[in-house]
Structure 1
Amino acid sequence: MDVFRNILIETEGRIATITINRESKLNALTAETLQEIRLAVLSIQQDKEVWGMILTGAGEKAFVAGADISEFLGLSMEEGMQLSKDGHEVMDTLYHSPKPIVAVINGFALGGGLELALACHLRVASKEAKMGLPEVSLGIIPGYGGTQRLTELVGRGKALEMILTGDMISSTDALQWGLVNYVEEASEAKGKAISLLNQMFKRSKVAIANAIEVVNAGLDKNQNGYQLEIDSFGKNFASSDFKEGVAAFLEKRKPNF
């Protein structure tokens, strides 16, 4: 696996934890850090021993407190568009990962940091976590997919409230709005993520990857999610996981995927 300067990767059992390791900068996202995250996820996807991932930030203050704004200075319109395209490529890598990724939001998740969490499949927040998209305060809008993914999770009204005011919300509000799946004590948030992944590991990896693909397709205006569901459902019948799952059910035992 590549040697990274801004992130740490720790593998325990079937879970790889990616930690953004810029604690003194509140784990702010530089262009280099974003690309390291992307390369790490792609590398882990090729590791057959790893079935799922956790993404978190170093320290207790921040998951990711935003992008490194100093990198935005002096950019032209074309360079700004390229910056957004590069960010989308990173977020899409997480969003479409066939292996589930759980974000552990252990503090501030702002701007690009919240967009990073939104690109994960599930989100577990600490009680102290604060989330927001403050880009309008800088004269820009979220550019790494946040306008779309936040709306998918919380609806148009709440998404516009967050984006247009630029205000942070508490983990309690985030849970109520559907932005995060669970809120836990800070010391227990990663344990909850591990528990969720271990539940998934009892199921078929093939079926989980298919489910991620089909759910994502249903949110893509350029795809017919219903048709992809039909196709994927049919293909599942040819998999060894399906044969094992049905045999285990009929034999009243746990499947061995």
Structure 2
Amino acid sequence: MKELILPAPAKLNRLLHITGRRSDGYHELQTLFQFLDHGDTLRFRRRDDGIVNLESTLDTVAQNDNLVVRAARLLQVDIDCRLGVDIHLDKRLPLGGGLGGGSSDAATTLLALNHLWNLGLSPDRLAALGLRLGADVPVFVYGHAAWAEGIGERLTPVELDTPWFVVLHPGIEVATPQVFGAPQLTRNTPPISMARALQEGPEAWRNDCEATVRRLYPRVDEAFEWLSAFAPPLLTGTGACLFCSLQHESDAQRLLEQVRDDWHAFKARGCNVSPLHQALSLM
């Protein structure tokens, strides 16, 4: 196998509770991850000289800082691999949007190179490597909707409803450290069980970051108020993206047609199995 083209799907946090703050500064979370059938696309071509080269439609992140390059080089070092790769990243997901774009790109890279370099590494091994790149990477490696705890790395697969979503990005980037460092952030939500969260259902789900993000970023607050006229919105991650669920694709399309020109929005279907893993299963 010399070349692969694979998706790097977006994720939504359909629920996000912050239950405490650890001594190392990280926060204890409870969240529900679900994938979308929308995201970035990566093309991989194997090299035999050990060089990792990235071409990207995103030019605001230095190559050495990009999680795609970091994932490839981490894998090389971990297994002492002498192979290399040319990677082309077609970037569609916004930076600082809460959709997990960088983490998803990193996970797709790990899984793609596992195939392209014929490594035969287990998902657990790849997820452990991914966790060194970011707390959200393992859920993309495993590729199933999940209830997550800890910093988001302790995962239990779940089956969620799969409505159509409209995702709205108000044209700004939210700085996650600023949100988690805000004094007013809710950090003491009582933990609940996964069973209770699933029993309560989407009508009861919320994001503990929402009030803080809306206060710090007026454009997010403005978009939230606008979207509320159509369906109950939620923040994903620490934002800036908001989403709402709709029963039919036609409903999502009608909402899209009303979005302001200075905002970006798209419609997508929720997925319990990642589009990346659906693609890999056909190989």
TM class by smaller structure: under 0.3
* TM-score scaled by length of structure 1: 0.25
Structure (1/2) with the larger helix percentage: 1
Higher RCO (C-alpha under 8 Å, 6+ residues apart): 2
Q: Higher strand share goes to which structure?
A: 2
